[in-house]
Each structure stands twice: as C-alpha cells, then as structure tokens.
Chain A
Amino acid sequence: GQQLNQSPQSMFIQEGEDVSMNCTSSSIFNTWLWYKQEPGEGPVLLIALYKAGELTSNGRLTAQFGITRKDSFLNISASIPSDVGIYFCAGQFNFGNEKLTFGTGTRLTIIP
C-alpha cells in the first residue's frame, strides 16, 4: 500500500532541544494527522489539521498543514524525556470515516 515519506527517519537529540520533522506525499490530502506511538502500544493522536495552511498547537507541539496539501510539519519545542517514541504522520482524503495512509515514521531518541 501507499506510504507517505517522512523525514528524518530517526533523530538523536539532547533534552531541551527543539525537534522538527516533516511528511510529504505525491497525493493531495484534505486532513493531516500526527500520532505518537510508544513501544507495544497503539498510536495516540497528537494533532489534527483540516485546512491548507493551518497551524495548530498542542502544548509544546506545533503542526502545520502545507499550502500544497501534499505535506505537513511537526515541531516539538524544548524536548523532554517523555517525548521519546515514534512519530507518525497520516493523511486522509476525507475526514473521519475513511482510511488513513501513514508515514514511514520518525524515531525520536533523547540523549541524557
């Protein structure tokens, strides 16, 4: 199946640093979602974006829906140890009752 390209694949940062990751698609999506997954668990929704150009924050997390509708970005400011995990973007053509196409994931590791 189709997957979205997510970069970087992995990040090793120190606590307190800011993090940026992005997701690109060859297709247009009308909804972009960002999830975090911890080992052995299902993904947990972080931010949902519904409109091209939209910028939405959730605490230290900020995500943007690209103007072209083919990309999205996630930033984490002042990282803390509990930010460790795998971050996935997901695109959806129509919101809600429709399947998600997931990105390849960005694994975030925080160096003590």
Chain B
Amino acid sequence: GAVVSQHPSRVICKSGTSVKIECRSLDFQATTMFWYRQFPKQSLMLMATSNEGSKATYEQGVEKDKFLINHASLTLSTLTVTSAHPEDSSFYICSAPLAAKETQYFGPGTRLLVL
C-alpha cells in the first residue's frame, strides 16, 4: 500500500491566488521530505529539500519566497505556491525515505492548473 500521500490530487486556481499542497508519510516519521516538479513529457526536477524543524533547502533557480515549504511535524510537509501564475501549472510530487538509510518513496502527485 501507499506509504506517502498527497492532498489534493488536483487543484485548479485563479492566477494570483495561493495554493497549499500537503505531503504526508503514512505510518512512519520522515525528518526529510523532497519536493519535485514535473512538466508534461519531462522528468522530475528537484525543487527543494524539506527538513523537519528547520528551513528548507532550495535548488538553484527555485524561488523560496514563491514556493513556501513548511515541515512542521515528522509526518507532514506542505508546499505553498504563492501568487500562482499559469507557468506554475505542473505536476508536483513529494518523496520521503522510510528511514535515514532507506529508499525514497513517492507520493501520488498533485496536478496544479493555474488559469
């Protein structure tokens, strides 16, 4: 069964609004989670590393003030796309390792469409 969940599975919003996406680890604690973005027919590109209890680490070119990450508990990380624009429309996927020396498992993804 699924070990990582995401909510919502898809969301449509108006340009200029903010959208929050949740990533939850099921039945295990994750001190680290990862957020990826995937455009149509492309690969997954890492956006940021979410660290429980501390600031997220962003990849080069990813605006930290636009993509807010909060990892407030050991089972939940949230990604907020602030002032969303059509070019932010994408498939957002999170992942988490079962433990520090375990393989990463991916959530089912969130499809964001900004009109």
Contacts and interface: CB of A to CB of B under 8 A. Distances in A.
Interface of A: 1, 3, 33, 35, 40-45, 48, 88, 95-97, 99-105
Interface stretch (B12-20, B69-77, B78-86, B100-108): B100-108
A97 B100 contact: yes
A35 B104 CA distance: 11
A3 B102 CA distance: 22
Given A43-B93, A105-B43, A100 B108 contact: no
Contacts of B45: 1, 3, 102
Given A42-B93, A102-B43, A97 B103 contact: no
A43 B108 CA distance: 8
29 contacts: A1-B59, A1-B60, A33-B103, A35-B106, A42-B6, A42-B107, A43-B44, A43-B93, A43-B106, A44-B106, A45-B103, A45-B104, A48-B103, A88-B43, A96-B97, A96-B99, A96-B101, A96-B102, A96-B103, A97-B31, A97-B32, A99-B46, A100-B34, A100-B44, A100-B46, A100-B104, A101-B46, A104-B43, A105-B42
Nearest to A48: B103
Contacts of A48: 103
Interface of B: 4, 6, 31-32, 34, 42-46, 49, 59-61, 91, 93, 95, 97, 99-109, 111
Contacts of B31: 97
Given A33-B103, A45-B104, 10 more contacts: A1-B45, A40-B109, A41-B109, A42-B107, A45-B103, A88-B44, A96-B102, A97-B101, A100-B46, A104-B43
Nearest to B110: A42
B111 to A, nearest CB: 7
Contacts of A97: 31-32, 97, 100-101
